Structures are given as C-alpha cells and as structure tokens.
Amino acid sequence: MKSAMLIGSALLVSALPSAASAEPVLLISIDGLQPDDVIEAEKRGIDIPNLKRFITQGSYAQGVRGVLPTVTYPSHATLITGVSPSRHGIFGNNSFDPLQINQGGWYWYASDFKVPTLWDVAAKAGLTTANVHWPVSVNASAVKWNIPQIWRTGHADDAKLMKSLATPGLIESLETQLGEYAPGIDESITGDETRGKFATALITREKPYFTTVYLTALDHEQHEKGPDTAAAHAVLKRIDAVVGKIIAAQMAAQPDSFIAVVSDHGFSKVDTEVNLYRAFIDAGLIVLDVNGKIKDWEASPWNSGGSSAIVLKRPSDPALRARVSGLLAQLKADPKNGIAEIAAESKVAEYGANPQASFYVGFAPNAYAGSFKGAAAPLISPSASKGTHGYFPDKPFMRSSFMIMGKGIQKGRNLGEIDMRAIAPTLAKAMGLTLPDAEVPAIK
C-alpha cells in the first residue's frame, strides 16, 4: 500500500511543471467530497460542470488516503503542512477535554501547528496570502488577508469575535459591498455561498499569490441526511456554482494560476452511536460528581466520529494500562458494541496519529463514538446522525479528493491513489517553494 501511494505521489509531482515556471495557487476544500461524486458525476446524476472540468482539463486522484483520524481539522492541517498529525500537532477537531470544561472548543488556533504551513513558506518568500474559513487559521500570522474559522455559541457576539480575529478591517470593508459575512457556526449551503462571495471579492481586489478557501455545507448535509443522497447531491450542485465563481475570479485576476480542489475525508452511513463514556464510568475509570459532571478520570476517550483515541492519565502505569486494555477487549468481543479494531501504541505511531493515545478504537462502518451525555446515557443508542467519518484511513470509504488544473498540468490524467501528505509539497512546488518538513517530498 505504501509503495502504491509513493508511486501515486511521484505521478502527481511529475504532472506539474518545474519550479522555474512557478505560479499563484488557489486551494479550495470541499469538506466531505467523495472522489466518485465527481469522477462518476453523470452516473450518480450530479450536475457539477465546474468540478467536472478538473477531470477533463486537469489531473485528478482516484482517491486520497488520509490521516488518523479522518476528520476535518487534522486532515486540513495535513493538507496545509504535508505531515501527519503526530508531527503537525492537530490531533482531532476538538482539543482534549477529559473534564468537559472547554464548551466544545476546537483546534482553532494556528499557534498549535508544530511545523511550517504553506502560508508560512509563501509569506517567508515574500508572496502574499489570503484565507477564507480554512480550519486552524485563527491568528495565522503568515496570512495577510485572513478570515479565519471560529465560533462559540451562534450568538450575534460571534460576529464581533470573528472581526476581532480577522485581518483588521477586512470583513468590514467587504461587507460594505456584500452584506453580512456568514457566522462561523453556520455550515449551511447559504453560509458557503456567502463565504464564496467574500472569497471572490477578496481575490478580485487583492490578487493574493496563495489563497485557501474552505466550504463546509456538503459535510453538514451528509451528516444530517447521509452520503449518496439526493439532498447531498443537491447541495454539491450549489457548491459547484460557488466553486465556478471563485475560479472565474482567480483566472481573471491571475490567468496562469494553478487551481486545486481537495477534500478531507470520505463518508459512511451510520445507524448506531456508541457511548464509550458509559463503559468507562461503569468501570470506575471516569468519576462523576453529584450533578453528573465529570470530576476525575483515569482514562478517557478522545472521540473523532468513527474512531476514538484512548488517553491514560498515567500512561506509564502498567496496572492502569492493563485495566483499560481489558475493558476495551471486553467491549470489542460483543459485536453489538460496534468496535471493529483496537490499535495499540505501535500501530498508532505507524499511522502517524495522536502520540497521547495509548490505544485507538476503530468502529464498524455503521457505528461511531458519541459525546458525553451525562450519567444516564446508555452504551448503545440509535444514531441521530445519518452519516459520519473519522474511521481509520486504510478504509476505502474514507478516501478523499484531489484535483488540479493549470499551465502544464496534463489533461484527463488519473493519478491513481495518492497520499494526502503529498498534496502540500506539490502545491509548494507549483509556487516555486519547498516545505522543509514534508513527509512525502515533491519529486524533482
């Protein structure tokens, strides 16, 4: 598998021109975009002419093998750094919060990156950068024009928070012609359409050399209604129109640009929610107070949808490790608990996943890890969600997308399956740059 991905990476890089012909890059992410939704769009009845252009006029991956966990923030961190979570430092969507006191806080802050990003190397080379809504972008100092992704409650005060963290005056100046910017918590298609308008206006006005844009409505719809549904396809059609307008603005501003479209993960239909907290509470590994809130813990799940990192308070304690190992084995032995596999530390390291995890639980394709819901929540319950992701990255249904068009890109070329870590160094090469820490380097 690794050899196949390295070959795919080599093909990908060879499809690009040399650094001597470096050009601007526009990077658009469509959260949850499955490769076959574009490659087999006609067969699936999806009308997406702008994305289909990449299949005929550019090069594309049959599938992209991602990182563990296959969720939005670690994946987007890999897409912008070229390294695994164990190196870039973004281990999940949410930061570790065993006492449940952070009100669902996410890895919003670019200060959590432990390696340079594409924004960093571009800015260091004196190239201008822009961002609209890309994950892990708050206080990304290398981004000259930055509208980061962040939210708290959905209250109107979130707009003030966003403006205080964006490039000073940027949102306000764009709002004079476009109306209000979308709240960070808004994952609807209308939110994407609003962000698309802001990205289009920003590109037209400032002509940045490297631009990142993130669109989230497809992921939201697939969680709500399930993947491969008419509702998801309808949302993707509207996203395609947004992408078309952004690309048109980029080509008008900088006609020789490279344009790449990526996604962060695939999707799986689900019907079962597994509450690992129930099992850990019953085993005395999590202790609740009289109000049903967590007051202490010996071991805790760190959930990411289709997988869960298991963190020990004292990872060097052999008795605690054995106790948790026994509990997990007991849970896995009962098929109704939906646990497909349990990875030990050596396997976690092989995946390049969270180094704080003493174990990693992988769920069956129909099941996922639920959040903490208090003392009375059962171990197993029907799923409120119709689709999710986060499963181990070797699962074919977790494959994500990569497509690229631009000067010198071979038309209609299927690159096969590639490694997600190959994308950032490839885009760096397109700009005439290198990512010094990339784990899958661009081939000269």
Please report which confidence band the pLDDT of residue 144 belongs to, taking 50, 70 and 90 as the band edges: very high
pTM: 0.95
Q: Are 134 and 107 in contact (CB under 8 A)?
A: no
**Dist. CA 90–CA 394, nearest whole Å:** 19
d(CA 326, CA 265): 31
Residue 198 pLDDT more than 90? yes
**What does the block give as tokens for 407?**
């000067």
Set out the domains of the chain in order of their start, with CATH numbers: 2-267+396-430 (3.40.720.10), 271-384 (3.30.1360)
* Residue 270 contacts residue 366 (beta carbons within 8 Å): yes
Mean pLDDT for 305-330 is 98
**Which pLDDT band, with edges at 50, 70 and 90, does 15 fall under?**
low
Which of these ranges, 10-14, 31-35, 345-349, has the smallest mean pLDDT?
Answer: 10-14
Q: For residue 213, give the H/E element and its range.
A: strand 210-215
pLDDT of residue 369: 98
Question: Once rounded to an integer, what is the mean pLDDT over residues 331-345?
Answer: 98
**pLDDT confidence of 16, banded at 50, 70, 90?**
low
pLDDT given at position 402:
97
Whether 243 shows a pLDDT value over 60: the answer reads: yes
Which amino acid, 212?
Answer: T
Q: Which two tokens stand for residue 228?
A: 């491969």
7 has a pLDDT exceeding 60: no
Instruction: Look at strands 367-369 and 272-274 and give their pairing.
Output: parallel
8 A C-beta contact, residue 24 and residue 206: no
Contact 277, 327 (CB under 8 A): no
| Average pLDDT for 40-49 | 97
Mean pLDDT score of the chain, rounded to an integer?
94
Q: How confident is the model at residue 138 (pLDDT cuts 50, 70, 90)?
A: very high
d(CA 371, CA 275): 7
The conformation of residue 393, written as its DSSP 8-state character, comes to T
- CA 321, 323, 324 angle in degrees (round to 5)? 65
Residue 22 has a pLDDT of 87
Question: How many CA atoms are closer than 13 Å to the CA of 296, on its beta-carbon side?
Answer: 6
| Contacting residues for 205 by C-beta, under 8 A, at least 6 apart | none
Mean pLDDT of 15-39: 84
Q: At what angle do helices 423-430 and 72-81 cross, to 10 degrees?
A: 40
User: How much is the average pLDDT of 188-204?
Assistant: 98
Asked whether residue 444 carries a pLDDT value surpassing 60, the answer given is no
**254-310 confidence digits (pLDDT tens):** 999 999 999 999 999 999 999 999 999 999 999 999 999 999 999 999 999 999 999
Q: How far apart are CA 115 and CA 186, in angstroms?
A: 29
Residue 417 main-chain phi, psi, to 5 deg? -90, 130
Rounded mean pLDDT of 143-163? 96
Give the bridge partners for 210, in sequence order.
25, 129
Q: CA torsion, points 382, 388, 390, 395, in degrees to nearest 10?
A: 100
Q: Is the pLDDT of residue 247 over 90?
A: yes
**Residue whose structure tokens are 């890999």:** 78
- Angle of helix 49-57 relative to helix 230-253, nearest 10 degrees, comes to 60
Report the SS3 class of residue 297: strand
